[in-house]
Chains A and B, each alone.
Chain A
Amino acid sequence: MRKNNIVEIRWHGRGGQGAKTACLLLADVAFQSGKYVQGFPEYGPERMGAPITAYNRISEERCNIHSNIYGPDYVVVVDETLLSSVDVTSGLKEDGAVIINSEKEPGELRHLLGGYNGKIYTVDARKISEETLGRNFPNTPMLAAMVRVSNIIESEKFLEDMEKSFHHKFAGKPQVIEGNMKALRKSMEEVNAG
């Protein structure tokens, strides 16, 4: 990452899918690797299933800006069904990327992205989550795919920090740590550039 360069990330998900948690986890691991971070969801009268947005800014020096993000470097879409109702690539930089939770090939989704010409990645976060965690928690695999694509944090360092953070977070149920780590690794391997 270049010095003074702020990387801006926008998350789109639905209430209950953990997009906010993924956003805060990304802030956490970026902080662990020595960066300045912002992690903030857009708040409103939320309910399960309604579209939500969350944001990250990651930089080498403190970022003063306290507005939402309109020209992100990366967009993460935790729920593919949002593509028909939310303009997820709005303002997305052409040299950035959108990462979508989908079993489809990236090329199959381009027509849903309103003329966006940049890179598209897909990862089947639902399948990965069901295989490794036994349930659909798409946020952990999406976080890993995001880190893999953006390279904001070096992959091995990311996995190390996540493991530490899981040990802390799941101190009461250590049996889920292995599944979560598998989900991260699998997602990093399977993310699809089309």
Chain B
Amino acid sequence: MSIRERLSGNEAVAFAMKQINPDVMGAFPITPSTEIPQYFASYVANGEVDTEYVPVESEHSSMSVCIGAQAAGARSVTATSSCGLALMFEMLYVAASSRLPITLALVNRALSGPININNDHSDSMGARDSGWIQIYAETNQEVYDNFIQAMPIGENPEVRLPVMVCQDGFITSHAVENIELLEDEKVKKFVGEYNPENYLLKKENPLAVGPYDISPYYMEHKKQQAEAMKKAKKVILKVSDEFEKISGRKYGLFEEYYMEDADLALVIIGSSAGTAKAAVDNLRKQGKKVGLVKIRVFRPFPMEELAQALKNTKAVAVMDKAESFSSCGGPLFAETRSSLYDVENRPKVINYVYGLGGRDITVSHFEFIYDQLNEIAFTGNTGQIYRHIGQREKDGDTNEL
């Protein structure tokens, strides 16, 4: 029997960490992720976990602590947001290329500037090429469930990659909602022990971690890393299946909502998918064939699977909560449109950048977007492909709905 509770997203992650009882936590505060190391510190102080809690002077150091610990053979975790992730940037690459399955709780926040503490995905999207697996959540429930699945995925010998478990800053991290928790024993059994094949403190097999890699070897290592990321997809699905057995909750690489017969679809990541679902519900009641795909796993990107899910649609809007300044669309748009290239009768695809720096997006915004898609499907004319929604314009015009 699961435990009925109400927790914020940050409480949920800290609670998952407590149930897992990792060996080491590298801890440094930054809004809105601060509560995670804060709650966890109380578990350490109360003796509820025996984790080595290492408070450091920066995020560069908190990730370095995790790298050192994980290389030594210990399971390590940390949490951060925004500029904290940016300060870890170099170490993210070191962790991934050293094949150290660290788990990072990322509470998504806009990455400066101007400085802003609210939610968007610019921090994690900026780190999308760092070699980390990225799993996103819509709700407190999903971030809890994803965190429990992170270690069995990352530590799998076929994978051996670090995992970023992302949730939306404030929107889920600080909102209290109902949640079903699993019993401690179930979580511990599911996550198991970390038993790496090789590690620094294994005296039978001395090794070096992170040495200089000369050109005759470097590319082979990068290719292996790329292969590991490809294999991660299968492992993520296997772990999801096992998780369903203990929780009753089903996860995939993405979630399809009313996609079976959808003509018009959204592709979206994170908490706003819930708001978009409410728009789908409203429009379905009016008989409109609308649906959405909520991306759970962004790295590795589910290219073939997404193409399958969208192949019968007529028009698709890809929602990016990050501006990539490519001048032609956001990161999710680029991946999604690329996924559709090989589809024979591919749908028309447009991109909306939304929700930057905590800008709210509402059910009516999504209804408006479906309306735009309907027009595109009807006329066959895509119009402007790269769009923004929710911002004021300089002529005083606003597309706030």
A28 to B177, CA, bound (A): 9
Inter-subunit contact A37/B32 (CB<8 Å)? no
Inter-subunit contact A24/B118 (CB<8 Å)? no
Please encode chain B, from 54 to 70, with 1 for each CB lying within 8 Å of some chain A CB and 0 for all others.
00000000000000000
Inter-subunit contact B117/A44 (CB<8 Å)? yes
Inter-subunit contact A65/B171 (CB<8 Å)? no
Q: B6 contacts which of A31, A41, A66 (Cβ < 8 Å)?
A: A31
For chain B, residues 71 to 90, give those with C-beta under 8 angstroms from any C-beta of chain A.
none
- Nearest CB to that of A36 among chain B residues? B178
Inter-subunit contact B174/A40 (CB<8 Å)? yes
A153 to B172, CA, bound (A): 25
A122 to B272, CA, bound (A): 36
Q: A66 contacts which of B32, B117, B172, B176 (Cβ < 8 Å)?
A: B172
Contacts of A38 in B (CB 8 A): 175-177
Question: Given A64-B277, A65-B278, A66-B275, are A24 and B176 also a contact pair (CB < 8 Å)?
Answer: yes
Instruction: Tell me how far the C-beta of B26 lies from the nearest C-beta in chain A, rounded to whole angstroms.
Output: 25
Please encode chain A, from 43 to 73, with 1 for each CB lying within 8 Å of some chain B CB and 0 for all others.
1110000000000000000101111101000
Instruction: Tell me how far the C-beta of B297 lies from the nearest C-beta in chain A, rounded to whole angstroms.
Output: 20
Whether A96 is near chain B, meaning CB under 8 Å from some CB there, is no
Contacts of A24 in B (CB 8 A): 176
Inter-subunit contact A45/B117 (CB<8 Å)? yes
Inter-subunit contact B275/A37 (CB<8 Å)? no
Contacts of B360 in A (CB 8 A): 67-68
Q: B363 contacts which of A31, A41, A65 (Cβ < 8 Å)?
A: A65
- Nearest CB to that of B355 among chain A residues? A67
Inter-subunit contact B278/A62 (CB<8 Å)? no
Contacts of A77 in B (CB 8 A): none
Inter-subunit contact B178/A31 (CB<8 Å)? yes
Contacts of B6 in A (CB 8 A): 27-28, 31, 37
Instruction: Tell me how far the C-beta of A172 lies from the nearest C-beta in chain B, rounded to whole angstroms.
Output: 15
Whether B40 is near chain A, meaning CB under 8 Å from some CB there, is no
For chain A, residues 61 to 94, give those with C-beta under 8 angstroms from any C-beta of chain B.
62, 64-68, 70
Inter-subunit contact B174/A43 (CB<8 Å)? yes
Inter-subunit contact B275/A65 (CB<8 Å)? yes
Please encode chain B, from 170 to 200, with 1 for each CB lying within 8 Å of some chain A CB and 0 for all others.
1110111110000000000000000000000
Contacts of B178 in A (CB 8 A): 31, 36-37, 62
Q: A41 contacts which of B168, B174, B274, B358 (Cβ < 8 Å)?
A: B174
Contacts of B361 in A (CB 8 A): 67
Whether A179 is near chain B, meaning CB under 8 Å from some CB there, is no
Whether A39 is near chain B, meaning CB under 8 Å from some CB there, is yes
A67 to B171, CA, bound (A): 8
Whether B38 is near chain A, meaning CB under 8 Å from some CB there, is no
For chain B, residues 82 to 130, give those with C-beta under 8 angstroms from any C-beta of chain A.
117-118
A40 to B168, CA, bound (A): 13
Inter-subunit contact A37/B176 (CB<8 Å)? yes
Instruction: Tell me how far the C-beta of B389 lies from the nearest C-beta in chain A, rounded to whole angstroms.
Output: 13
Inter-subunit contact A66/B272 (CB<8 Å)? yes
- Nearest CB to that of A41 among chain B residues? B174
Contacts of A68 in B (CB 8 A): 360, 362
- Nearest CB to that of A56 among chain B residues? B176
A40 to B8, CA, bound (A): 9
A28 to B360, CA, bound (A): 25
Q: A64 contacts which of B117, B168, B175, B278 (Cβ < 8 Å)?
A: B278
Question: Given A31-B6, A37-B6, A67-B361, are A43 and B176 also a contact pair (CB < 8 Å)?
Answer: no
A65 to B271, CA, bound (A): 8
Contacts of B271 in A (CB 8 A): 66
Instruction: Tell me how far the C-beta of B294 lies from the nearest C-beta in chain A, rounded to whole angstroms.
Output: 11
A41 to B176, CA, bound (A): 10
Contacts of B275 in A (CB 8 A): 64-67
Contacts of A37 in B (CB 8 A): 6, 176-178
Please encode chain A, from 15 to 31, with 1 for each CB lying within 8 Å of some chain B CB and 0 for all others.
00000000010011001
Contacts of A64 in B (CB 8 A): 138, 274-275, 277-278
A40 to B172, CA, bound (A): 9
Chain B residues engaging chain A, CB cutoff 8 angstroms:
6, 32, 117-118, 138, 168, 170-172, 174-178, 271-272, 274-275, 277-278, 358, 360-363
Given contact pairs A36-B178, A64-B275, A67-B363, a sample of 14 additional A-B residue pairs in the complex whose CB atoms are under 8 Å apart = A24-B176, A28-B176, A31-B6, A38-B176, A40-B170, A43-B32, A43-B118, A43-B358, A62-B177, A62-B178, A66-B168, A66-B272, A66-B274, A66-B275
Instruction: Pick 18 A–B contacts, CB within 8 A, sort by A.
Output: A28-B6, A31-B6, A36-B177, A37-B177, A38-B176, A39-B176, A41-B174, A43-B170, A44-B117, A64-B277, A64-B278, A65-B363, A66-B168, A66-B171, A66-B271, A66-B274, A67-B361, A70-B362
9 shortest A-B CB distances, which residue pairs? A64-B274, A40-B175, A66-B271, A39-B176, A31-B6, A67-B362, A64-B277, A43-B170, A66-B274
